[in-house]
Structure 1
Amino acid sequence: MHNPLLRDVRLDERLRFLRDGVVCLRQIISPEWVRRAQDGVEHEQVMFESGAGEVARQLTVTRRLRWIYDQLFDSSDPGDSVAGTPWHQDTSYGLADSHRIVRVWMPVDHVPRETGIEVVRGSHLWKVERGWAGRIEVRDIEANRRAFDIVGYEVDAGDVVAFNYRSLHHAGANVNFSEKRKAFAILYADDRLALRHRSPLETHGAAWHGGRPILGASMTQETR
């Protein structure tokens, strides 16, 4: 089957993902899919056909993946502002606590370092779960940034930031009102992993799709 990615994930990138819990994959999504995502193509086509799922499959070396949910962050109007996301681990959503879940953050516009995703390197290996929105309190990372190994990236359309579900992360606010910012955040899991269904309120507005399966290298949707 056709692989839509411009290139495969390299071994050193996969090892970095396993060690750090996060990796930035430069120019891996094709310009055609970037254009279609910018033009407002249906989310489902992006999830299943753009290669985002193939990125997750290659990073985890998983033969069967399950698409869990997706989010769209959009400030298409230059006058809009986007609030930052506080530091948290996705385990606070309560879907599962596993290393076999990966979040693929796929920008389709340029995103400066200060407004993009930041991750505490190695935090996916921490034993204590840390949440937000009324759950377990997170230490004040912003007030003590030098005490943590924080990594972030300036990214362009075609890049992908992928990180472990357990990694402590946040996103900065869109402070440049003259610049658009649009990105998809997609969660994939090993198909064998048991997941808990959570309400939209409990998942903080994420679009829950019932853990629909995707198959093999082509990321083709399974028919039922």
Structure 2
Amino acid sequence: MSEYLTQQIVDDYQRDGAVCIRNVFNNYWIEKVIEGIERNLKNPSDYSESLSSDGQSGAFFNDYCNWRSIPEFEQYVYQSPAAQICAALMGSEYSVFYHEHVLIKEAAANQLTPWHHDQAYYPINGFKNCSIWMPLDPVPIETAVEFAAASHLDNKWYKPRKFATHLNYNINNNDLCDEIAYNDVPSDQYIRDNYKILSFDVKPGDCIAFHMRTLHGAPGNLSESTSRRVLSTRWLGDDAVIGARPWITSPPTTGGLDIGQNVVQSKEFPLIWTRSK
């Protein structure tokens, strides 16, 4: 068990698919990640987006898969508590790093994040997974991410949605795709009527851990003066294998592996922590 967790937190994660863990990251990691985000903003990748609505003063910026070129992120991946925490939450013998995702809602950015779950975006199958959502600014409950508790246990897959338009990804015919039935994401009203909604006010040092099949969404940033900067890191457990989706995945990388191969076999997805350590 990680020193940062209790058995209750692990049980809550496995039951609800989302938990808040307080005071995990010290000032060193907070400052290090902020430096990495600043470096990312100065040199965004081809994956980056900056979304804004007409007449909106703030934008919603996101970018991912830059950790190898941003030393602060690389250090966080290899040396922070994140990998050990995820292994305990997943009930996995080890933690493999998948990718990082920078998410910034600038002050007054009213761009909503639509309800979705993450795993359908990825070419990854398996149930042992975890995302660590690490805020670098205080996030009050009014602008917090919302999670549909226990939705990861429904055994349902949902079509991914574009954040800019909230429309589903285009489906491509592909004979190699997994035999998975993909559903439209339910309406906001349906989700609120049928699930307990979890949300957490968080501050720098805290994190939210959530399962990649947990439905979640977020309001815009209501603050007129403070951005909401977040580093979200994606971690995979010992049952994670390459899958195939009927759309262009995001990120579109399989680490050079074939369908069904375990992700730990690829150097693209480094093994960061094992129980033997």
TM over 0.5: same fold? yes
Query: CA 1:114–1:107 in 2, change beyond 3 Å: closer, same or farther?
Result: same
The alignment status of 1:162 with 2:209, answered yes or no, reads: yes
CA contact (8 A) 1:67 1:213 kept: yes
Query: CA 1:164–1:132 in 2, change beyond 3 Å: closer, same or farther?
Result: same
Query: CA 1:33–1:175 in 2, change beyond 3 Å: closer, same or farther?
Result: same
CA contact (8 A) 2:242 2:254 kept: no
Quote how far apart the aligned CAs of 1:201 are: 5.5
The alignment status of 1:213 with 2:271, answered yes or no, reads: yes
Query: CA 1:153–1:63 in 2, change beyond 3 Å: closer, same or farther?
Result: same
Q: In structure 2, the residue corresponding to 1:73 is in which secondary structure?
A: strand
The alignment status of 1:22 with 2:50, answered yes or no, reads: no
Quote how far apart the aligned CAs of 1:206 are: 8.4
CA distance in 1, matches of 2:204, 2:189: 27
2:133 aligns with one of 105, 120, 137: 105
CA distance in 2, matches of 1:9, 1:105: 16
The alignment status of 1:182 with 2:244, answered yes or no, reads: no
Which residue number corresponds to residue 195 of structure 1? Answer: 242
2:99 aligns with one of 69, 76, 90: 69
CA contact (8 A) 1:98 1:166 kept: no
Query: CA 1:73–1:206 in 2, change beyond 3 Å: closer, same or farther?
Result: farther
Quote how far apart the aligned CAs of 1:143 are: 6.7
Quote how far apart the aligned CAs of 1:196 are: 3.8
The alignment status of 1:84 with 2:112, answered yes or no, reads: yes
Per-residue Cα deviation, 1:138-190 (whole angstroms, up to 9, x for no partner): 11125762442110011000111001111111122112131121111111001
Per-residue Cα deviation, 1:172-218 (whole angstroms, up to 9, x for no partner): 211213112111111100145212488x9521x68987322213369
CA contact (8 A) 1:95 1:197 kept: yes
- How high is the sequence identity, in percent, across the aligned residues? 24
Name the aligned partner's letter for residue 120 of structure 2: S
2:78 aligns with one of 34, 38, 48: 48
Name the aligned partner's letter for residue 119 of structure 1: F
Query: CA 1:218–1:107 in 2, change beyond 3 Å: closer, same or farther?
Result: farther
Unaligned runs of 5+ in 2: 37-70, 162-167, 170-182, 256-267
The alignment status of 1:145 with 2:192, answered yes or no, reads: yes
Which residue number corresponds to residue 222 of structure 1? Answer: none
CA distance in 2, matches of 1:68, 1:124: 19
CA contact (8 A) 2:123 2:249 kept: no
Q: In structure 2, the residue corresponding to 1:27 is in which secondary structure?
A: coil
Q: In structure 2, the residue corresponding to 1:183 is in which secondary structure?
A: strand
1:118 aligns with one of 146, 149, 168: 146
Unaligned runs of 5+ in 1: 220-224
RCO higher in 1 or 2 (8 Å CA, sep ≥ 6)? 1
CA contact (8 A) 2:125 2:241 kept: no
1:129 aligns with one of 122, 134, 157: 157
**What TM-score comes out, normalization by structure 1 length?**
0.81
Quote how far apart the aligned CAs of 1:53 are: 1.6
